């Protein structure tokens, strides 16, 4: 199975892996002060067991999945044991290889979802990614509950200052976004668009895309995909 991915990005060069999470968080706390509390781990979801279950359900060994997504077996093992948070790009590669999506890795579809699904502010599941891979704290908040046969997938993407995507990705579908707070450089097919609070965007997911928060404040983006392939 081929995994669609684009490694390079003109937005921001890849940072050395030498910095530890402790150093990254210390710098964030110094820069953000009280705002650092927003990067807390409330409702954080550990995906290790879900990823392992999805892998075993497909009948893949660690080596087989590692070959498909082009990473080491040890990396997958660390993710499955919640010792490492993957980047969003790596989560996407896992999702493609396992024929699922990131929303399903966060939580199982709820078969009892009524005609109207409500997710309260203090109950939104979160998934944090590795700051060493994306430069600073990045986390997704699930906006809608995944459902079997659903056509939409939506998250709030939170980017701490200097946070970026781990390269560029492309996948099936379409996506739109609305910048709630902060600013972001959105790159689509090599063109960079600087967006601020109140701006929105739309593009085909088949176009290579990524992002970079070069500002000094946390950026929050409502991001919607259809179908739920991300």
**In the chain, what are the helix, strand and coil shares in percent, each to the nearest 5?**
30, 25, 45
Chain segment 56-76, per-residue pLDDT in tens: 999 999 999 999 998 999 999
For the entire predicted model, the pTM comes to 0.69
Identify which of 190, 188, 166, 203 has the alpha carbon closest to the alpha carbon of residue 90. Answer: 166
The per-residue pLDDT for range 100-147, each reduced to its tens digit, is: 877 777 665 565 666 777 888 888 888 877 655 555 688 888 888 776
CB 162 within 8 A of CB 214: yes
Q: Where are the domains of the chain?
A: 21-108+124-226
For domain 21-108+124-226, give its CATH number from 2.60.120.620, 2.60.120.10, 3.40.50.2300, 2.160.10.10. 2.60.120.10
Beta strands in the chain (DSSP E): 5-6, 126-128, 138-142, 153-159, 168-169, 174-181, 183-188, 191-196, 200-204, 209-212, 219-226
């Amino acid at each position: 199975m081929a995994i669609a991915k684009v490694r390079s990005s003109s937005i921001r060069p890849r940072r050395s892996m030498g910095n530890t999470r402790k150093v990254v968080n210390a710098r964030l706390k110094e820069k953000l002060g009280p705002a650092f509390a927003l990067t807390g781990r409330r409702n954080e979801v550990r995906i290790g067991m879900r990823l392992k279950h999805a892998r075993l359900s497909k009948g893949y060994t660690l080596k087989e999945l590692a070959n498909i997504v082009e990473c080491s077996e040890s990396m997958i093992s660390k993710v499955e044991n919640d010792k490492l948070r993957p980047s969003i790009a790596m989560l996407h590669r896992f999702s493609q290889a396992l024929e699922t999506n990131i929303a399903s890795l966060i939580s199982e579809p709820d078969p009892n979802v009524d005609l109207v699904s409500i997710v309260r502010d203090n109950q939104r599941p979160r998934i944090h990614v590795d700051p060493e891979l994306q430069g600073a704290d990045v986390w997704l908040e699930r906006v809608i509950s995944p459902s079997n046969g659903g056509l939409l997938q939506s998250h709030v993407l939170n980017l701490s200052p200097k946070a970026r995507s781990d390269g560029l990705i492309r996948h099936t579908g379409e996506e739109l976004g609305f910048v709630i707070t902060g600013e972001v450089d959105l790159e689509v097919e090599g063109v960079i668009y600087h967006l601020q609070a109140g701006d929105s965007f739309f593009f085909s997911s088949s176009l290579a895309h990524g992002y970079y928060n070069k500002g000094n404040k946390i950026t929050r983006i409502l991001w919607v995909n259809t179908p739920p392939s991300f």
